[in-house]
Chains A and B, each alone.
Chain A
């Protein structure tokens, strides 16, 4: 059966539903945000519809550039760590018995049901001096005395990886479970060690899945605002934390919207760049 070009309007009907959803859940909210970002801020009040660049002007400073840079690097780091941990894990999981797989997947799904607040407070207890894992280390004789492990960058990173890990596994799982193991058997017959087969066969074959997962986790981590706030020092606050401050505490919607628009555009640009690089290296040299 060959693909036929759509002839009439009716042939396009299957597209209406997705298009409508995209309109309702993406285009309209994003459009509203774009519009608000150009509104005039009313100090002491709210905003009046207008077309001004003030909100963007305020954002273009070294101060915000540094925070944006930090937010993007943090999200990227979280994403890379998650994929590095999850890829071998998920691969091994798909080789397990069906029953074992189901148990693992249920455990992973249950982590997803935890809210960011609970995760943040749980880790802050775990990282505390008085009730945290430091005491276990002392008990084991590894450390002299218990020290607080938060607030700090390590605490933020750990909690964010913890939160994003289940998503990573769930995104990798379908593709890895469909993976045809005869590729690896072939590599084995040709004398490749399991590690070598994993690195030189499995990873290249799954490259697109990995790339898609990296992007998804990156975008997911970029929106995190509670964990950096609970577990980090002010220098670890992401742009999302400052957006929340502006929107909720300063009632400065136009500025918050301008920052959010910029964050969305930056991440779209990064995603685009990643896809471009992915496609280029895919083309035969």
Chain B
């Protein structure tokens, strides 16, 4: 009995000691409470790693605001999480990099806090289409980076560089393509319209969209892999097992730098130019810091740096950048790009998704 008593006392002592040490450990946190910080959501993996190494430390140095980066999943998964958290008045990230479709969807529920452009003077540097606005004119997002989805191929298997997206329809490519599996991130309808129908304006009507679907169904036999996960395709592309497809220009550049036999082509119809915007969750209380962050990121020097270090295309006017022609060519192209029809994904989302699933599954 006395033994048990002893052990009980000692356990309580241990508990007490550990509680005291936890309190002690959290003390510095209280002391540092006035230090400013910001939680920033960026796409996990390569993007987050590059931002953590090359971009965020310089921001902290310049402004004294600490950045805590949060890995966000691609697609709309992050939007769902942000929205549900905002309903509970929480913000898993204050500022997030959002794709255009996700940003538009967030606008319908007023997820994004309105930004004050007078506190972001550098926004004047941005190309006109990189300021996202609510219908009533409030600013919902600021262009962060843009990136190209290009026609990629394995140089060992496909000796001659393709010049047009039409190469995807070539019968010689039977069972050799890797394409993105979702209608809203593959943008293949736009590619089809630009390549065969004279431009993406053909997609304004339902009839035009159906025609593009018909044309797309012709390349189904060529597709070996409809991928959701980038790693799935990248492996096959490098080994030559899936020698052609669509893929991100920046990541392909890294693979080339690592010596893999791959190439990324800006086809004559243009690469697909997609972009991400910084947006602030309405549940965040770091409004001041968020504006400072966005202003910092919109500087031409920072944008040039991102192009060099992360491989993204700038959202700032070309004339303001100090990129050499070679540096600019490695992340972008003078060929008129294919701009996704974001409005289409917002207005016809479910219908498009259903047709698309029927196309690839059926």
Contact = CB atoms under 8 A, between A and B. Distances in A.
Interface of A: 41-46, 58, 63, 67, 121, 124-125, 128-131, 148, 151, 229-230, 233-235, 237, 242, 245, 247-253, 255
A41 B350 contact: yes
13 contacts: A42-B109, A43-B347, A44-B108, A44-B349, A45-B109, A128-B236, A129-B241, A233-B226, A245-B182, A248-B75, A249-B182, A250-B349, A255-B350
Contacts of A251: 76, 79-80, 105
A44 B111 CA distance: 12
A63 B358 contact: yes
A253 B81 CA distance: 12
A257 to B, nearest CB: 13
A249 B77 contact: yes
Given A44-B108, A253-B80, 4 more contacts: A43-B347, A43-B350, A46-B80, A245-B182
B349 A43 contact: yes
Interface in B207-236: 224-226, 228-229, 231-232, 235-236
B314 interface: no
Contacts, number: 77
Contacts of A125: 235
Contact of A252 (B226, B236, B350, B361): B350
Given A129-B241, A148-B241, A151-B224, A45 B108 contact: yes
Given A124-B232, A131-B239, A250-B349, A46 B358 contact: no
Highest count of chain A CB atoms <10 Å: which of B73, B83, B229:
B229
B37 interface: no
B232 A248 contact: no
Contacts of B104: 44
Interface in B170-190: 181-182, 184
A252 B239 CA distance: 36
A234 B360 contact: yes
Contacts of B236: 128
Highest count of chain B CB atoms <10 Å: which of A67, A234, A242:
A234
Contact of A245 (B79, B232, B239, B357): B357
Contacts of A151: 224-225
A215 B235 CA distance: 37
B222 to A, nearest CB: 13
B5 to A, nearest CB: 31
B333 interface: no
A248 B105 contact: no
Interface of B: 73, 75-77, 79-80, 83, 104-105, 108-109, 181-182, 184, 224-226, 228-229, 231-232, 235-236, 239-241, 346-347, 349-350, 353-354, 357-358, 360-362
A171 B231 CA distance: 35
A46 B109 contact: yes
A45 B225 CA distance: 30
B69 to A, nearest CB: 22
Contacts of A44: 104-105, 108, 346-347, 349
Contacts of B109: 42, 45-46
Contacts of B347: 43-44
A124 B354 CA distance: 28
A10 to B, nearest CB: 30
Nearest to B349: A43
A128 to B, nearest CB: 6
Highest count of chain A CB atoms <10 Å: which of B349, B353, B357:
B357
Given A129-B241, A130-B241, A248-B76, A234 B226 contact: yes
A245 B361 CA distance: 13
Contacts of B77: 248-249
A239 to B, nearest CB: 11
A248 B241 contact: no
A124 B353 CA distance: 27
B215 to A, nearest CB: 18
A63 B76 CA distance: 25
Nearest to A45: B108
Closest 9 CB pairs of A and B: A45-B108, A234-B361, A130-B239, A234-B360, A248-B77, A44-B108, A45-B109, A249-B75, A251-B76
A125 B231 CA distance: 12
B105 A229 contact: no
Contacts of A229: 228
Contact of A250 (B229, B240, B350): B350
Contacts of A41: 350
B360 A128 contact: no
B220 to A, nearest CB: 9
Contacts of B228: 229
B130 to A, nearest CB: 21
Highest count of chain B CB atoms <10 Å: which of A45, A121, A148, A245:
A45
